């Protein structure tokens, strides 16, 4: 159980109180310096209470002070929500954004902006809360039958997150101009121009804190094992519901006011735990305080340094960007210990009696779908069967179908490998950070070079993928590529990627459209040569995975068990990791970071009944290809002449099926 696995005592010198004191002093010093520079200390303090006459005093009263207050409130609220979630889900990686609250709120705001702007007049925070609450309710509904078991909740949250994220991407792709304001919101800006938002947030957070204090004792029971808690007569379902519901309420309130602020909810509780806080009460107290101070300090630093830039650097994205290296630094210091297999990770789906027949059926449908995708399509004047007369059309269709299938196969295999390697159902190629790394490099190329051609972009993407792979390997070699640590490294790189993307999009630069188009994973840019390269590489790498099937059967049993069976653990992990990196980088460079397929295809295969490693690989590869080809074709036809990128379509289709499958569990 990860929460138990953290160190009981890290270093005697480092206590949560000491940490908060140091950080508090830094924040105080920064604030005093700022006050002094802007208005002088006395008048500056005075401006807290009265607007004053001069423009500077006005700005202090209506912008600087509320912003500081907002940073403290938001940071505290998010950290509190983070502790609650990590406690309930017993997963140190759980964070306020994990459960779909942020993406639900985001989607609700986007949809309201486009379809019912009147709602935003009534109050955007209510729209955001409704969206976040709705997403959470969906997660609960998915996990209800399993008594809100942690693994299923996290999995449901992840899928809802991806699903809503994909829907928002579609809206954004088609309505970039209308939604540009929400991009700033999505990057989390703390800018204030009055006290009204603080007045909105403060009482709600106070209420949430009271509720958390009230839940403290029952929640502490969750630290016992599940059976132990049950034997004490605690209703786990209701307790988890209350804990998570409270966390969502806190997150929703904060997020609706200042936008998505990454990392605080993840970092503050983990840092406090590393600093030696063990009991839930102490963790709640110090995490809240640390979260508040972390956000305030970051924001003060940011205001100090960003004055000269032509654009606003949003705080929420900055915390995420700063937090990423911090997390990378923390990883070797986290004693995650347990090589125990994660329970319930393999509990999904039942074994099909004849996997061979199932695979044959799947291949047959893949062939049929490919044929339809090649021959049927719309033109300016309606639907067409391709007749021998217009083979020229295949010049446009063949590369896309090939690339879609190839990338589907690669991502599906990468996903299967990494899910079996880490024994973690949340794992996907994106979580390793490889697509994130190459995406950062690509965005850099689009924004820093005057008119980059595709070759330059591919080069930049490869460099980025290699760089992130190097980081992953360098940080994990010592621990022998322990699954939890590997995932954490990936989470850190992905956080950095999210931050870079948010900053890039929030600036409102027209080139953002290009970034969105690429990030949503389209086969649009593929020509025949690269399509052939992709499908060839997919085939080769798929063949390379077959001899590894024995390792993959054993690895999910856990490190200790695998070692006992004579598996060269470190080497096996390194080899699998390299293969995953190659597969992911190959697919990412061609069709963007389409990790949804990498997450969904292995699960699909498992739900269909492929359970041993070799059939699982084959099943995942075929379902991945099927999913991508269907997605690519549907995406090209649905809103003709506008095209929905294959990556988005795949996650919309796959996510829907996946939710249906989860509900059935």
Partner 1 sequence: MLRTRCRLPALAGLLAMLAAAVAQADTPRLATLDWTLAETLVALDAPPLASAQLEAYHAWVDEPALPDTTIDLGLRSQPNLELLARLAPDHILISPMFANLAPRLERIASVKTLPLYRAEQDTWQEMRRLTRSLGELVERPEAARRLIDTTEARLDTLGARLDGTAPPPLLMVQFMDGRHVRVFGDNGLFQAVLDRLALTNAWTGPTNAWGFSLAGIEALAGLDARLVVIEPYPAGVRETLAESGLWQHLVEAGRGSPIVLPPVWSFGAMPSALRFAERLVDALENDDAV
Q: Between residue 481 and residue 510, which ones bind partner 1 under the rule CB under 8 A?
A: 506-510
Task: Pick the closer one to partner 1 by CB: 475 or 504.
Answer: 504
Task: Pick the closer one to partner 1 by CB: 331 or 629.
Answer: 629
Tokens of 400: 């896309």
3-state SS assignment for residue 385 = strand
Residue with tokens 């995953």: 580
User: Within 264-323, which residues bind partner 1 (CB under 8 A)?
Assistant: 308-312
> Least distance to partner 1 from the beta carbon of 514, Å?
5
| 66: Cα within 13 Å, side-chain hemisphere | 23
3-state SS assignment for residue 106 = helix
Task: Pick the closer one to partner 1 by CB: 27 or 504.
Answer: 504
Task: Pick the closer one to partner 1 by CB: 182 or 242.
Answer: 182
Which of 11, 357, 511, 550: binder of partner 1 (CB under 8 A)?
511
CA distance 95 to 78: 9
Our finding on whether 517 is near partner 1 (CB under 8 A) is: yes
User: Within 431-490, which residues bind partner 1 (CB under 8 A)?
Assistant: 450-454, 457
3-state secondary structure 481-526: CCHHHHHHHHHHHHHHHHHHHHHHHHCCCCCHHHHHHHHCCCCCCC
Which of 192, 428, 489, 584: binder of partner 1 (CB under 8 A)?
192
| 589: Cα within 13 Å, side-chain hemisphere | 23
Our finding on whether 241 is near partner 1 (CB under 8 A) is: no
Task: Pick the closer one to partner 1 by CB: 169 or 212.
Answer: 169
CA distance 415 to 409: 10
Map residues 119-148 to x or -, x wherever contact with partner 1 holds by CB under 8 A.
-xx-xx------------------------
> Least distance to partner 1 from the beta carbon of 43, Å?
15
CA distance 517 to 520: 6
Planar angle of CA 112, 113, 118, nearest 5 degrees: 70
Our finding on whether 180 is near partner 1 (CB under 8 A) is: yes
Map residues 340-369 to x or -, x wherever contact with partner 1 holds by CB under 8 A.
------------------------------
Calculate Rg over the CA atoms of the chain: 25
Q: Which residues contact 386 (CB under 8 A, 6 or more apart)?
A: 374, 375, 376, 377, 393, 394
> Least distance to partner 1 from the beta carbon of 199, Å?
10
Stretch that binds partner 1, among 183-191, 226-234, 476-484, 595-603 (CB under 8 A): 183-191
Task: Pick the closer one to partner 1 by CB: 172 or 264.
Answer: 172
Task: Pick the closer one to partner 1 by CB: 449 or 474.
Answer: 449
Which of 182, 402, 407, 649: binder of partner 1 (CB under 8 A)?
182
User: Within 626-645, which residues bind partner 1 (CB under 8 A)?
Assistant: 638-643, 645
The neighbour count for residue 134, using CB atoms within 10 Å, is 18
Which of 28, 45, 137, 195: binder of partner 1 (CB under 8 A)?
195
Which of 185, 263, 481, 658: binder of partner 1 (CB under 8 A)?
185
> Least distance to partner 1 from the beta carbon of 301, Å?
16
> Least distance to partner 1 from the beta carbon of 58, Å?
5
The neighbour count for residue 233, using CB atoms within 10 Å, is 7
Strands 382-385 and 376-379 turn out to be antiparallel
Size of residue set near partner 1 by CB under 8 A: 82
User: Within 367-406, which residues bind partner 1 (CB under 8 A)?
Assistant: 377-382, 392-393, 395-397
> Least distance to partner 1 from the beta carbon of 282, Å?
36
Our finding on whether 154 is near partner 1 (CB under 8 A) is: no
* 463-468: long-range pairs with CB below 8 Å, 24+: 464/437, 464/438, 464/439, 464/440, 465/434, 465/435, 465/437, 465/438, 465/441, 465/581, 465/584, 465/585, 465/588, 465/589, 466/585, 467/437, 467/441, 468/433, 468/434, 468/436, 468/437, 468/438, 468/493
- Is the bond preceding 272 in cis, omega lying within 30 degrees of 0? no
> First CA to last CA across the chain, in angstroms?
23
Q: What are phi and psi of 378, to 5 degrees?
A: -95, 155
Q: Which of 446, 442, 374 is closest to 405 using CA atoms?
A: 374
> Least distance to partner 1 from the beta carbon of 518, Å?
8
Task: Pick the closer one to partner 1 by CB: 423 or 507.
Answer: 507
Task: Pick the closer one to partner 1 by CB: 253 or 267.
Answer: 253
CA distance 545 to 532: 20
User: Within 104-123, which residues bind partner 1 (CB under 8 A)?
Assistant: 111-115, 117-118, 120-121, 123
Stretch that binds partner 1, among 131-139, 180-188, 342-350, 603-611 (CB under 8 A): 180-188
Which of 27, 35, 39, 64: binder of partner 1 (CB under 8 A)?
64
């Amino acid at each position: 159980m990860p929460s138990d696995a953290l160190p009981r005592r890290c270093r005697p010198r480092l206590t949560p109180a000491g940490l908060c004191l140091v950080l508090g002093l830094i924040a105080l010093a920064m604030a005093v310096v700022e006050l002094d520079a802007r208005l002088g200390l006395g008048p500056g303090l005075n401006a807290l209470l009265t607007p004053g006459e001069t423009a500077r005093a006005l700005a202090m009263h209506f912008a600087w002070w509320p912003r500081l207050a907002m940073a403290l409130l938001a940071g505290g609220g998010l950290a509190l929500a983070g502790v609650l979630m990590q406690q309930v889900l017993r997963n140190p990686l759980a964070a306020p954004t994990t459960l779909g609250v942020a993406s639900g709120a985001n989607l609700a705001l986007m949809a309201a902006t486009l379809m019912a702007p009147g709602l935003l007049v009534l109050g955007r925070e209510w729209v955001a809360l409704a969206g976040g609450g709705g997403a959470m309710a969906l997660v609960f509904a998915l996990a209800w039958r399993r008594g809100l078991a942690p693994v299923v909740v996290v999995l449901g949250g992840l899928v809802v997150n991806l699903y809503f994220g994909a829907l928002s991407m579609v809206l954004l792709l088609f309505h970039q101009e209308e939604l540009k304001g929400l991009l700033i919101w999505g990057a989390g800006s703390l800018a204030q121009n009055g006290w009204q938002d603080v007045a909105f947030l403060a009482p709600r957070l106070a209420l949430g804190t009271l509720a958390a204090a009230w839940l403290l004792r029952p929640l502490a029971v969750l630290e016992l094992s599940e059976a132990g808690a049950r034997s004490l007569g605690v209703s786990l379902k209701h307790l988890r519901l209350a804990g998570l519901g409270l966390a969502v309420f806190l997150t929703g309130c904060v997020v609706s006011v200042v936008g998505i602020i990454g990392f605080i909810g993840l970092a503050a509780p983990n840092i406090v735990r590393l600093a030696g806080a063990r009991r839930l009460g102490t963790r709640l107290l110090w995490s809240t305080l640390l979260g508040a101070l972390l956000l305030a300090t970051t924001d003060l630093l940011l205001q100090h340094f960003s004055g000269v830039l032509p654009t606003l650097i949003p705080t929420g994205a900055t915390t995420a960007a700063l937090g990423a290296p911090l997390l990378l630094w923390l990883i070797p210091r986290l004693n995650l210990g347990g090589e125990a297999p994660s329970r319930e990770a393999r509990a999904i789906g039942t074994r099909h009696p004849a996997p061979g027949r199932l695979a044959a059926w799947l291949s047959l449908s893949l062939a049929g779908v490919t044929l339809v995708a090649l021959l049927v399509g719309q033109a300016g004047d309606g639907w067409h069967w391709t007749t021998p007369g217009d083979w020229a059309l295949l010049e446009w269709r063949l590369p896309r179908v090939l690339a879609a299938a190839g990338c589907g196969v690669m991502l599906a295999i990468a996903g299967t490998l990494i899910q079996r390697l880490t024994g973690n159902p949340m794992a996907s190629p994106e979580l390793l950070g490889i697509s994130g790394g190459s995406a950062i490099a690509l965005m850099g190329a689009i924004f820093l070079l005057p008119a980059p051609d595709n070759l330059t972009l591919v080069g930049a993407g490869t460099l980025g993928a290699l760089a992130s792979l190097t980081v992953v390997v360098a940080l994990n070699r010592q621990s022998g590529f322990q699954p939890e640590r590997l995932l954490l490294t990936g989470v850190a790189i992905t956080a950095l990627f999210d931050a870079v993307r948010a900053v890039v999009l929030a600036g409102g630069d027209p080139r953002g459209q290009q970034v969105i188009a690429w990030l949503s994973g389209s086969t649009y840019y593929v020509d025949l040569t690269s399509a052939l390269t992709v499908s060839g590489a997919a085939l080769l790498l798929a063949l390379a995975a077959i001899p590894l099937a024995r390792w993959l059967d054993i690895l999910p049993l856990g490190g200790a068990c695998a070692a006992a069976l004579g598996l060269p653990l470190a080497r096996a992990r390194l080899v699998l990791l390299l293969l995953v990196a190659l597969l992911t980088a190959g697919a990412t460079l061609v069709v963007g970071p389409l990790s949804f397929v990498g997450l969904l295809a292995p699960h699909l295969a498992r739900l269909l009944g492929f359970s041993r490693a070799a059939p699982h690989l084959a099943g995942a590869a075929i379902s991945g290809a099927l999913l991508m080809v269907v997605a690519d074709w549907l995406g090209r036809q649905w809103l003709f002449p506008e095209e929905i990128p294959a990556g988005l379509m795949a996650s919309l289709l796959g996510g829907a099926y996946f939710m249906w499958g989860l509900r059935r569990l």
